[in-house]
Copies of this chain bind each other. A is one copy, B any other.
Amino acid sequence: MRIVVDAMGSDSAPGPDVEGAIWAARKYDVAITLVGEKEIVQQELSKYDTAGLDIEIVHASDVITMSDHPAMAVRAKPDSSMVVAMGLVRDGQADAFVSAGNSGGVLATALLSRSRLGRVKGIRRPAISTVLPTRTGKCFILDIGANTDCKPDWLFQFAHMGSIYAERVLEIPSPRVALLSNGEEDTKGNEAVIAAHELLKGSSLNFVGNVEGKGILSGYADVIVADGFVGNVAIKTAEGVSNVLLSALKEYLQAGILTSLGALLAKPAFNKVKGMLDYREYGGGPLLGVNGVVIIAHGRSDALAIQNAVRVAREAVQQKVVDHIREGLGSIALEDSEEA
Contacts and interface: CB of A to CB of B under 8 A. Distances in A.
A3 to B, nearest CB: 28
B259 A266 contact: yes
Contacts of A240: 212-218, 238
A268 interface: yes
A183 B105 CA distance: 14
A152 interface: no
Contacts of A134: 244
B229 A255 contact: no
B236 A212 contact: yes
Contacts of A229: 181-182, 189-190, 193, 230
Contacts of A244: 134-135, 217-218, 276
Nearest to A226: B233
Contacts of A253: 266, 269
A267 B263 CA distance: 10
A300 to B, nearest CB: 11
B262 A265 contact: yes
B256 A276 contact: no
A102 B145 CA distance: 32
Interface residues of A, number: 64
Given A149-B191, A276-B245, A234 B218 contact: no
A112 interface: no
A233 B230 contact: yes
A276 B272 CA distance: 21
B264 A252 contact: no
Interface string A181-212: 11100010111010000000000000000001
How many copies of this chain does one complex carry?
Answer: 2
A238 B243 CA distance: 11
A294 B215 CA distance: 28
A262 B266 contact: yes
B148 A182 contact: yes
Interface in A228-284: 228-230, 232-249, 252-253, 255-256, 258-259, 261-270, 272-273, 276-277
Contacts of A242: 241, 245
Given A245-B273, A248-B276, A190 B149 contact: yes
Given A149-B190, A213-B240, A268 B259 contact: yes
Interface of A: 69, 134-135, 145, 148-149, 180-183, 187, 189-191, 193, 212-218, 227-230, 232-249, 252-253, 255-256, 258-259, 261-270, 272-273, 276-277
Given A148-B182, A213-B239, A259-B269, 18 more contacts: A148-B191, A149-B190, A182-B233, A183-B232, A193-B229, A212-B232, A215-B240, A238-B241, A245-B245, A249-B270, A252-B273, A253-B269, A259-B265, A261-B262, A261-B265, A262-B267, A262-B269, A263-B269
20 contacts: A135-B244, A148-B189, A149-B190, A182-B228, A182-B236, A190-B227, A212-B236, A214-B240, A215-B240, A216-B237, A216-B241, A234-B237, A237-B238, A241-B245, A245-B277, A252-B269, A253-B269, A259-B266, A259-B268, A265-B265
